[in-house]
Structure 1
Amino acid sequence: MNNLPKISDSEWEVMKIIWSKEEATANEIIDKLKGKQEWKSTTIKSLINRLLNKEAIGFRKNGKEYFYYPLISEEECIKEESKSFLKKVFNGSLNEMVLNLVKSEKLTKEDINELRDVLNKKLDMEDK
């Protein structure tokens, strides 16, 4: 899907549940969000309807129950959100973002070695 819908932070919480279960009822979503969010069930149902309207999720009906399933993949959404964040905060510069995170976050030796390995593999791929 090329034109992914813009998903709000609240809608992300609902999508995470649907992605994790592959299919969920409104009551299952409400139960999963209990304690995590201070939302009423009507708020959660509104979020579900917004996601339906955005065509981020679809549904199938079985008796009186509606089962909601994702129409867009979590991977696609994460990739799109990452690009949006990178553009908004770091003017699209991946280098600036990585440098900022490396300088400002405490990294373990394992983290550093993993970063080094990823960068070395990227270098090797570029040389081919």
Structure 2
Amino acid sequence: MCTKNIKISDAELEVMRILWREDQALSLSDIRTELSEKMGWETSTIATFLRRLQKKGAVSVQEKEVHYYMPNITKEEYTALKKRSLIDKLYDGSTKNFVAALCQAGELTEADIDELKMYFRMGDKDK
């Protein structure tokens, strides 16, 4: 499955998070239980998001006594896609510039920086 063209809205992402977390086919009823409470969404709203996700190729439907929905893209695949898209869009494809921007903006604490240094040092030993 080509994941490059899948664009998931913030609302649709709430549905995907449930599917990723549960790691099994879920019915609309299963999904609705959580999202009605968390987001206050009606069944029709959730069904619309599921149809959109199916049309985009992000989920597939298993038809049994009711429809069951499964993700076609993993959380890791989607995260990598969004990360790459953000870096390409805002930092001309430069991961170094992205990290530098985080450091310059004060987004990383000294402890974060020290932890990253240790991470990269440990990675060098594996080579």
Query: Do the two structures share a fold, i.e. TM-score over 0.5?
Result: yes
Render the CA deviation track for 1:89-121: whole Å, top value 9, x for unaligned: 222111111112123225252x23320022224
Paired position in structure 2 for 1:74: 75
- 1:3-18 superposed matches below 5 A: 3-4=3-4, 5-18=6-19
Give the gaps of 5 or more residues in structure 2.
none
CA RMSD after TM alignment: 2.0
User: In structure 1, what residue type is equivalent to 2:51?
Assistant: N
Paired position in structure 1 for 2:61: 59
- 1:1-128 superposed matches below 5 A: 1-4=1-4, 5-22=6-23, 23-63=25-65, 65-103=66-104, 104-107=106-109, 109=111, 111-123=112-124
TM-score, scaled to structure 2: 0.83
TM-score, scaled to structure 1: 0.83
Give the gaps of 5 or more residues in structure 1.
none
Q: Distance in 1 between matches of 2:3 and 2:59?
A: 14
Q: Percent identity?
A: 31
* Paired residue total: 124
Distance apart, 1:13 and its partner CA = 1.0
Distance apart, 1:77 and its partner CA = 0.8
Q: Distance in 1 between matches of 2:45 and 2:89?
A: 29
Farther-moved stretch of structure 1 (36-45 vs 50-59): 36-45
- Inter-CA distance 26–108: structure 2 relative to 1 (3 Å threshold): farther
